[in-house]
């Protein structure tokens, strides 16, 4: 926070015009991709392109106008990045819908996803409008923490808990399936931020020094052990390797940023290694995934086997540098091409070029989030921005790394691309939170010295507004 002083003299520009320009590009990506899907698969621009494009444009314009009014100093790059990814994802889902329909397995992923996107944008607007200062969330530190844990536990409750595809991460209420874990992510970031910003000084106290690294004191290990326990529980009980890794990595990153102690990373890495080893030894599913990752081609015909991963690898290899083009690939050969494996669909039909573009978009989102953390004026905002950025980074790395064979496969959705309402809505709220923090960080600092002496003299009692 030492930099805050030097930043005082610098006033950020609002850059809303730049955002609008980038949004036009983003819409061109989304609507253009939708038209290309129609041309590639049906030989004509889809008949509903005007309705679809109009709806997408309306959503994005609504989001933009809201930002203009209630968060004028917010980061201008985040919203266009998200709009491009979401629009592009819709086009990919539409592409898959057409093929699934031809195979007598009709789905309306694109249509449903557009509905979820609408809900996401509405919540995005509501968040920005209702929450004018992110620091109010600090009051809900323990409420958020409790809510997060309850949400994680929900899938185990009888009646509403559902197990889908081997992972018990769903609840079913009134006919709607929902992944509470997606919301729990946001809740936990708020809880960690509030907790760490208060206890960072205590947690930063040095303990024993081992090879240039100050290890934390033993008595401070409580929180990290608790988080480790929760992560292992998620792994063992929900069979969800991806979320487990995500939550623990998230906590570790935030703890490190809050305390500035690399010693926590050593402790965290040791715990992670121990956890991974235990998981490999005791959880058969983890062992399988690890073997499939090492030699995917050897387990092609087995059951459970690596058919899905190998088909994804075949598809992406076939796509090559520029892809086969919409309609000329066989993404339907990969089970769950519309959710976890959407990147392999993109790689097959649009090639390495598109995959790199996607990865760069995510990289930029993470970069913007960390930049917001750097310039944020309060510790709570810094920690929240780091946490939200870390979620994106870890989730994208784990899922794209898994699909491309870099790391063992774990089930996680690709933010804004994969089909899935819970994830999409939660991620729109995440973006709203980031924009709110950045608006606070970039807006000119309030002038603290009253200059109008006559006005000061005229009042004996000053009214100070704290918002």
Which DSSP helix (H) or strand (E) runs through 16?
helix 16-42
Q: Which stretch binds other proteins (CB under 8 A): 6-14, 318-326, 421-429, 455-463?
A: 318-326
- Cβ 28 to other proteins shortest distance, Å: 22
Q: What are the tokens at 200?
A: 């960072």
- Residue 335: Cβ within 10 Å count: 14
356 lies in the site for other proteins, by CB under 8 A: yes
Find the binder of other proteins among 30, 38, 242, 315 (CB under 8 A): 315
Q: How far apart are the first and last CA of the chain?
A: 21
Q: Which stretch binds other proteins (CB under 8 A): 68-76, 105-113, 150-158, 313-321?
A: 313-321
CA dihedral 233, 258, 426, 31 (to 10 degrees): -130
CA distance 425 to 431: 10
CA distance 6 to 65: 32
397 lies in the site for other proteins, by CB under 8 A: yes
436 lies in the site for other proteins, by CB under 8 A: no
CA distance 372 to 163: 38
Q: What is the DSSP annotation of 88-113?
A: HHHHHHHHHHHHHHHTT----HHHHH
CA distance 73 to 58: 22
Q: Which residue in the block uniquely carries the two structure tokens 């691309």?
A: 417
Q: What is the DSSP annotation of 319-344?
A: HTTT-S-TTSS-GGGSTTTTTTTHHH
Find the binder of other proteins among 36, 227, 258, 434 (CB under 8 A): 258
- Cβ 423 to other proteins shortest distance, Å: 19
Nearest CB to other proteins, comparing residues 156 and 314: 314
- Cβ 352 to other proteins shortest distance, Å: 4
35 lies in the site for other proteins, by CB under 8 A: no
- Cβ 174 to other proteins shortest distance, Å: 39
- Site residues for other proteins, 172-201, by CB under 8 A, read none
Nearest CB to other proteins, comparing residues 114 and 373: 373
Asked if residues 335 and 328 have their Cβ atoms less than 8 Å apart, the reply is no
78 lies in the site for other proteins, by CB under 8 A: no
333 lies in the site for other proteins, by CB under 8 A: yes
Binding mask 363-382 for other proteins (x = CB under 8 A): x--xx--x--xx----x--x
Q: What are the tokens at 373?
A: 């953390």
- Cβ 338 to other proteins shortest distance, Å: 18
Helix runs in 154-294, H state only: 180-203, 222-238, 241-259, 262-282, 284-294
CA distance 226 to 343: 34
CA distance 327 to 42: 9
Find the binder of other proteins among 386, 391, 429, 434 (CB under 8 A): 386
Nearest CB to other proteins, comparing residues 260 and 453: 260
The DSSP output letter for 415 is T
Find the binder of other proteins among 41, 85, 400, 426 (CB under 8 A): 400
Nearest CB to other proteins, comparing residues 300 and 336: 300
- Cβ 347 to other proteins shortest distance, Å: 6
The DSSP output letter for 450 is -
Nearest CB to other proteins, comparing residues 90 and 386: 386
Find the binder of other proteins among 314, 335, 336, 377 (CB under 8 A): 314
How many residues bind other proteins (CB under 8 A)? The answer is 51
Find the binder of other proteins among 237, 359, 377, 443 (CB under 8 A): 359
Q: What are the tokens at 79?
A: 């919203």
167 lies in the site for other proteins, by CB under 8 A: no
- Cβ 208 to other proteins shortest distance, Å: 21
Asked if residues 204 and 262 have their Cβ atoms less than 8 Å apart, the reply is no
- Site residues for other proteins, 228-257, by CB under 8 A, read 253, 256-257
Find the binder of other proteins among 260, 452, 457, 459 (CB under 8 A): 260
Find the binder of other proteins among 113, 147, 316, 345 (CB under 8 A): 316
- Site residues for other proteins, 39-68, by CB under 8 A, read none
- Cβ 122 to other proteins shortest distance, Å: 30
Length of the chain in terms of residues written: 467
CA distance 70 to 76: 14
Question: With b meaning 16 or more CB within 10 Å and e meaning fewer, what string describes 137-152?
Answer: bbeebeebbebbeebb
Q: Which residues bind other proteins (CB under 8 A)?
A: 1-3, 253, 256-258, 260, 297, 300, 310, 313-321, 329-330, 333, 347, 351-352, 355-356, 359-360, 362-363, 366-367, 370, 373-374, 379, 382-383, 386, 389-390, 393, 396-397, 400-401, 404-406
């Amino acid at each position: 926070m030492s930099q805050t002083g030097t930043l005082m003299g610098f006033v950020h520009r609002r850059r809303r015009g730049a955002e609008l320009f980038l949004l036009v590009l983003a819409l061109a990506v989304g609507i253009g991709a939708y038209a290309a899907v129609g041309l590639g698969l049906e030989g004509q621009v889809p008949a509903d392109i005007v309705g679809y494009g109009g709806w997408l444009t309306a959503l994005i314009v609504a989001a933009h106008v809201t930002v203009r009014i209630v968060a004028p100093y917010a980061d201008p790059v985040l919203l266009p990045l998200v709009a491009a990814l979401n629009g592009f994802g819709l086009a990919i889902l539409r592409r898959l819908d057409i093929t699934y329909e031809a195979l007598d397995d009709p789905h309306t992923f694109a249509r449903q996803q557009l509905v979820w996107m609408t809900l996401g944008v509405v919540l995005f607007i509501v968040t920005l409008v209702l929450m004018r200062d992110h620091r109010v969330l600090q009051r809900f530190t323990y409420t958020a923490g409790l809510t997060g844990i309850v949400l994680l536990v929900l899938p185990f409750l009888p009646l509403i808990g559902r197990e889908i595809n081997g992972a018990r991460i769903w609840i079913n209420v009134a006919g709607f399936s929902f992944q509470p874990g997606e919301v729990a992510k946001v809740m936990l970031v708020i809880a960690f931020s509030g907790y760490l910003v208060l206890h960072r000084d205590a947690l930063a106290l040095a303990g024993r020094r081992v090879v240039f690294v100050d290890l934390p004191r033993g008595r401070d290990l409580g929180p990290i052990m608790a988080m480790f326990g929760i992560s292992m529980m998620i792994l063992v009980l929900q069979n969800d390797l991806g979320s487990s890794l995500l939550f623990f990595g998230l906590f570790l990153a935030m703890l490190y940023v809050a305390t500035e102690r690399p010693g926590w990373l050593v402790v965290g890495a040791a715990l992670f290694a121990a956890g991974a080893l235990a998981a490999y030894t005791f959880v058969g599913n983890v062992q399988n995934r690890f073997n499939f990752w090492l030699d995917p081609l050897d387990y092609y015909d087995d059951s459970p086997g690596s058919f899905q991963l190998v088909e994804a690898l075949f598809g992406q290899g076939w796509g090559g540098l520029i892809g086969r083009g919409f309609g000329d690939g066989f993404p339907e050969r990969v089970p769950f091409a519309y959710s976890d494996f959407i990147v392999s669909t993109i790689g097959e039909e649009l090639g390495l070029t598109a995959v790199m573009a996607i990865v760069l978009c995510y990289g930029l989102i993470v970069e913007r989030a960390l930049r917001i953390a750097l310039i944020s004026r309060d510790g709570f905002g810094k920690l929240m921005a780091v946490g939200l950025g870390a979620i994106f980074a870890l989730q994208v790395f784990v899922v794209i790394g898994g699909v491309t064979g870099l790391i063992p496969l774990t089930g996680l959705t690709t933010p804004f691309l994969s089909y899935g309402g819970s994830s999409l809505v939660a991620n729109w709220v995440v973006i709203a939170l980031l924009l709110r923090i950045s608006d606070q960080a970039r807006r000119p600092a309030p002038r603290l010295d009253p200059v109008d002496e006559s006005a000061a003299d005229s009042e004996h009692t000053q009214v100070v507004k704290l918002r």
